[in-house]
Amino acid sequence: MLGAGFGGATCAKELIKRLPKGSEVVVLDRNNYTLYYPLLVEAGVGTLEPRHVTVPFRAQVPQADFRMAEITGLDTQRKQVDFRIVGGETGSLRYDHLVFSLGSVTKVPDNILGLREYGYELKSLMDAIALRDRGIRLLELANTIEDAAKRRELLTLVVVGANFTGIELAGEYHAFLHDAARRYPNIKKSDIRTVVLEFGNRVLGGTTESLAKWCVETLTKRGVEIRTQDTITEVGEDFAQTKGGERVRTHTVVWAAGIAPHPLIESFGLPTNERGYIDCERDLRVKGLEGVWAIGDSAYVPPKEGDKPYAATAQNATREGPLAARNIAATLAGEATKEFNFSPLGNFAAIGHKKAAAEMFGRELKGFLGWVMYRGAYLVKMPTLKLKLRLIGDWIGELLIPHEPVQVGVHESERFGAPGDAEKESKTIPHAYVK
C-alpha cells in the first residue's frame, strides 16, 4: 500500500479482515498519520486543536506493517517497490498486489506570474497553522499603522477558487479575523477585506444551487466579496492582479483552485489519462498492469454510463479503499471482481460564525442546523472513540471559552515546494510600514 490517507487507511483495514491468514499488509507513507482534511480550516483558525485532525495510522490499522518512508522507485515487471526510510536507509519490497493511494497536490499553473513565489496553499496542517500565524502577525502590524489604506492592504485576503476549500477558508478566515480584531484597538471592521475569485460561473459546483446561493448571500452580508468568472493573472509581494482588471492591494493570496496528480505517478511511468491521473478499470485495477490498483485522488475511475466523473473527495476515497481490498481478496480466491459505483451521501460547507450549508441524503439544512449536521457527520466519521472525544472536547471548549488570537509559532509553510523559513516571511511582510 503506497499512501496512508483516507483511501489507504480504509483499504488496509479491509485487507486485514479479508486476506487469508498469514498474509502481510505493508503500508508506506512519509507521514505516520491520516490528515483529516475536511476539518483542516477549523484547525487553522483555532476552533480545533491542530493535532486532533491528524489521525495516527497505527491507531486505525494496528495489524498492518506500517513503515514511515518515501517511495524512490517502482519496477512493475519485477513487482518491486524501492523506498527510503526515516534516517536515510533504503530498502526494497516485493509485492503480490500493490495499491496506489498517493493523494494529490495543489495544481499551480505556470502562467500566473508570481504565484509560486507569493501565493499560499491549503493542503497540509502546516499550511493551515501558517495562515493563522500570518493573519495574527498582520493584525499586530496593522494595529501600529495610522494610514487606513495601508491597514486595509495588510488585512486583505484573496482566495482563488470557490469550491469547498475556497468558500470554507474565506468564511472561516474572515470570521476569525473579525473576532480577533476585537483585541486590537486601532483596527476597524472596515479594515478587513476578503475577496473570493472563481473562474467558473458559480461557487460550490459540487453542491446544489440553493445551498450555493445561500452561502453567497450569507458571506456577502458579512462583507465577503465573491466574484465569478474571474481569477488572477499575476501575484506580487503586495498585490493580486485580477483578470477583470482590478489590482487588489493584498499581502495574502491563497490558491484553492484545483488539484493535480501526485508527481510520483509521472516519474514511475504509470498509465495515465490526459490529465495525468492513473488510468483504471471500473474495478480499480490499473490498466495494463497485473496486480496493481489505484484509489483516491490519484486514480481516474471511469464512471458508469450516465454518471458524472467521480470527484476527488474523502467520501470517494473511503468507498474505493474497501472495494479495492475486496477485489484483491476476490482475485486471490479466483472470484470475480466488482465495479465501483459512487453516489455521494452529502456535502458540507462551514462558513464561520457557527453556520454551514449541509446536504445529506437529499435533505438540505442551512445556518446553525447545517453546522450541527456538519459537525455530527464528521464526528461519526472520526475513526476511534478517543479521537471522537477529543473533537467533542474541542468544540465544547470553543463554545465556552473561545481561543485567544495568539500565534502557534509556525512562521511559514513551504510555498508550492519552495523553501520556506522565518527570514523569507520577513521579506514578504512590509516592516517598512512600522513607524
Q: In this predicted model, what pLDDT tens digit does every residue of 6-18 receive, in sequence order?
A: 999 999 999 999 9
- The C-alpha cell at 144 is 501600529
The answer to whether position 339 is within a domain reads no
3-class secondary structure, 77:
coil
Q: Please tell me whether residues 132 and 252 are part of one structural domain.
A: yes
What single DSSP character describes residue 37? G
Q: Is the pLDDT of residue 421 over 80?
A: no
Inter-residue contact 7 to 45 (CB < 8 Å): no
Q: What's the pLDDT score for residue 416?
A: 57
Question: Which cell numbers in the block locate residue 234?
Answer: 499575476
Buried b / exposed e over 268-277, threshold 16 CB at 10 Å, is: bebebeeebb
So what's the pLDDT on residue 420?
41
Residue 123 is assigned to a structural domain of this protein: yes
pTM for the predicted model, two decimal places = 0.89
**pLDDT tier for residue 410 given thresholds of 50, 70 and 90:** low
Question: Has residue 131 got a pLDDT over 60?
Answer: yes
Give the pLDDT confidence score for residue 51 in this predicted structure: 86
pLDDT(432) > 50: no
Q: Which of 332, 354, 377 is the endpoint of a domain?
A: 332
> What pLDDT score does 415 carry?
58
State whether 140 and 210 are in the same domain: yes
d(CA 38, CA 348): 9
How confident is the model over 55-74, as a mean pLDDT? 94
344 against 91, higher pLDDT: 91
Q: What is the mean pLDDT of residues 192-214?
A: 94
Q: Which amino acid appears at position 367 of this protein?
A: G
Report pLDDT for 422. 40
**pLDDT > 60? residue 170:** yes
Residue 407 has pLDDT above 70, yes or no: yes
* 273 shares a domain with 207: no
Mean pLDDT, all residues of the chain: 90
Q: 346: pLDDT confidence band, cut at 50, 70 and 90?
A: confident
Last residue of a domain, one of 307, 332, 357: 332
Quick: pLDDT tens for 308-344.
788 888 889 999 999 999 999 999 999 999 999 988 7
pLDDT higher than 80, residue 419: no
Residue reference for cell 453556520: 355
**Sign of the alpha-carbon dihedral angle for 57, 59, 61, 67:** positive
Q: How far apart are CA 361 and CA 343, in angstroms?
A: 10
Same domain, 251 and 265: no
| 394 located within any domain | no
Q: How far apart are CA 315 and CA 61, in angstroms?
A: 19
On whether residue 34 sits in a domain, the answer given is yes
Q: Average the pLDDT over 130-148 and give the result.
A: 94
Q: Which amino acid is at 12?
A: A
Whether 246 is covered by a domain: the verdict is yes
CB neighbours of 324 closer than 8 A, spacing ≥ 6?
A: 7, 11, 99, 284, 293, 295
CB-CB contact of 217 with 226 (8 Å): no
Q: What is the per-residue burial (b if ≥16 Cβ within 10 Å, else e) of 46-70?
A: bbbbbebbbbbbeebbeebebebbe
Residues 220, 236, single domain; the answer is yes
* Band of residue 412 on the pLDDT scale cut at 50, 70, 90: low
- At residue 284, the pLDDT reads 97
Question: What CATH number should be reported for the domain holding residue 311?
Answer: 3.50.50.60
- Whether 147 and 278 share a structural domain: no
Q: What percent of the chain has pLDDT over 70?
A: 94
Give pLDDT tens digits for 292-312: 999 999 999 999 887 778 888
Section 357-381 average pLDDT = 90
For the segment 210-249, what is each residue's pLDDT rounded down to a tens digit? 999 999 999 999 999 999 999 999 999 999 999 999 999 9
Q: Is the pLDDT of residue 423 over 60?
A: no
For residue 395 the three cell numbers come to 468544540
Report pLDDT for 352.
92
Q: Please check whether residues 168 and 250 belong to one and the same domain.
A: yes
Q: What is the Cα–Cα distance from 42 to 248, expressed in whole angstroms?
A: 26
Let me know whether 39 and 139 are in one domain. no
Q: Which of 310, 332, 354 is at the close of a domain?
A: 332
Same domain, 133 and 86: no
pLDDT at 400: 85
Given this model, what pLDDT does residue 97 score? 97
361, with CB counted inside 10 A (0-12, 13-18, 19+), is exposed
Q: Give 413 or 134, the one with higher predicted confidence.
A: 134
Judged against a pLDDT cut of 70, whether residue 275 lies above it is answered with: yes
Question: Are 88 and 147 part of one and the same domain?
Answer: no
**HEC sequence for 282-298:** CCCEECCCCCEEECHHH
| Res. 182: pLDDT tops 60 | yes
- Domain count for the chain: 2
Flag whether pLDDT at 427 surpasses 60: no
Q: Is residue 417 pLDDT above 70, yes or no? A: no
> Are residues 252 and 124 part of one domain?
yes
The pLDDT, as a whole number, for residue 333 is 94
For residue 95, give its domain range.
Answer: 6-106+260-332
- Helix residue ranges per DSSP H, 295-384: 314-332, 368-381
The CATH number assigned to the domain holding 248 equals 3.50.50.100
